[in-house]
Amino acid sequence: MQLLNWLEKIKLLYGLEIQENQIRPFGDGHIHQTYLVDLGDKKLILQRFNYQVFQYPERISHNHDILIREIDPQKLPFILPLPIPNIHSELFSVIEGHYFRLAPYVEGKCVNEVNSAHQAYLAAKAFAQFIVAGIHIKSSLLQESIPNFHDLQLRYQQLLQAVSSTQRQVTGELKELVDFYLGQKPLVEEYNFWKSLLPLRMTHSDTKINNLIYSDDFSKVNAVIDLDTIMAGYVYYDFGDLVRTVACTEGESSQNWENIKVDMPKYAALLQGFQEVGDGVFTSEEIQSLPFGGQMMTCIMGFRFLADYLNGNIYYTIHYEEQNLHRAKNQMLLLKALQDM
């Protein structure tokens, strides 16, 4: 574990006694390197932060400071495990140019798929409650931790760029995918249409289902995690990423192509969760835009996975060469299913 090179400094910066055998790799995140530190009497999450992807860590800390000031943890029915300050009161520790941070570990179940419509409903309620808890925060105060993160038009341009500069041969299945995604211009136009109608809110902006922790018996949500992308966004982003990762019959990494469909009971449960929590708070346009969110977020991930494959897999963690291609194919099938609803 490369992390061990920095362990002595990490221990000093957090005033902790940590043995090597108390650390193990943890979770399924595609971006940071995440470890569980089990100290016996307490558990912590230690992350080596991906500075290539998040080039403005100070913006993340700025947004987290706003959350700490503006959101009363007592009023949220779940935990937001924000980073633990180091001995210098910093939310990040920089060691030899590498960024590390520590956060509380929350007990429970972190899953890539949910088993029931009720679990979908609980997830939707939690992410909607998060938006509602921050509804009073002026979105212009939040900083963009990744500029234009969910800008569909820009992601389309980046895909076009990747197609024109790729070293790969764009033929066969790859060409089919490229043609499909470049054919999604109407979705980009719809994105621009909603932009003129909707208010910006504080959104989580990465509400894939494994960014939430259920209680062990799945009767409630214990925590909403992965708080780096909290910034100004549209309500439908957070609904949409849930649709993408919950209301589908196969997960994002599945190659079970024939079985990638919309799970209608889960879809309806997500909608119910957002509508109930947003009732009287979200505008009617925000509620109307929710179904667009499912399509838009699936499409944007497809753009991004495919662009990454064309660029030589430089962004997402992969476990085999074609994984981003397969992720893009998976999202294409889901997007088609959502468009046929």
Stretch that binds ligand GN1, among 6-14, 27-35, 64-72, 179-187 (CB under 6 A): 27-35
Q: Is 205 in the site for Mg ion (CB under 5 A)?
A: no
CB of residue 52 to Mg ion, shortest distance in Å: 16
- Residue 232 CB, nearest approach to ligand GN1 (Å): 16
CB of 308 to ligand GN1, least distance (A): 10
Q: What is the dihedral of CA 264, 265, 268, 273, to 10 degrees?
A: -140
End-to-end Cα spacing for the chain: 46
Give the x-and-dash track for 246-285 against ligand GN1 (CB under 6 A): ------x---------------------------------
Closer CB to ligand GN1, residue 31 or residue 202?
31
CB of 34 to ligand GN1, least distance (A): 9
DSSP readout, 248-300?
BSS-TT---GGG--B-HHHHHHHHHHHHHHHTTTS-HHHHHHHHHHHHHHHHH
In 159-261 the beta strands, taken as DSSP E runs, fall at 201-203, 212-214, 221-224, 231-233
Q: What are phi and psi of 48, to 5 degrees?
A: -95, 115
Cα distance between residue 41 and residue 150, in whole Å: 40
Among residues 7, 53, 79, 135, which is the contact residue for ligand GN1, using CB under 6 A?
Answer: 53
In the list 119, 229, 295, 331, the residue contacting ligand GN1 (rule: CB under 6 A) is 229
> Which one of residues 29, 85, 104, 291 is an interface residue with ligand GN1 (CB under 6 A)?
29
Assess 208 for contact with ligand GN1 (CB under 6 A).
yes
Q: Which of 226, 228, 238, 263 binds Mg ion (CB under 5 A)?
A: 226
Touching Mg ion, residues 16-45 (CB under 5 A): 29
Question: How many CB atoms lie under 10 A from the CB of residue 323?
Answer: 18
One residue of 61, 181, 206, 333 binding ligand GN1 per CB under 6 A: 206
Q: How many CA atoms lie within 13 A of 170 on its CB side?
A: 19
Binders of ligand GN1 among residues 104 to 163 (CB under 6 A) are none
Shortest separation between residue 101's beta carbon and ligand GN1, angstroms: 14
In the region spanning residues 120 to 139, those forming contacts with Mg ion, defined by CB under 5 A, are none
Q: In terms of Cα–Cα distance, which of 301, 325, 331 is closest to 312? A: 325
Work out whether 145 is an interface residue with Mg ion (CB under 5 A).
no
Q: Applying CB under 5 A, what is the total number of residues that bind Mg ion?
A: 3
Number of residues that bind ligand GN1 (CB under 6 A): 11
The values of phi and psi at residue 167, to 5°, are -90, -10
CA atoms within 13 A of residue 75's CA, in its CB half-sphere: 11
Contact criterion met (CB below 8 Å) for 117 and 271? no
**CB nearest ligand GN1: which residue?**
30
Q: Which is nearer to ligand GN1, 39 or 53 (CB)?
A: 53
Q: Which residues of 46-59 are buried (b: 16+ CB within 10 A; e: fewer)?
A: bbbbbeeebeebeb
Shortest Å distance, C-beta 100 to ligand GN1: 16
* Among candidate residues 212, 248, 231, 232, the one with its CA nearest the CA of residue 330: 248
Binding site for Mg ion (CB under 5 A): 29, 211, 226
Binding site for ligand GN1 (CB under 6 A): 29-31, 53, 206, 208, 211, 226, 229, 252, 301
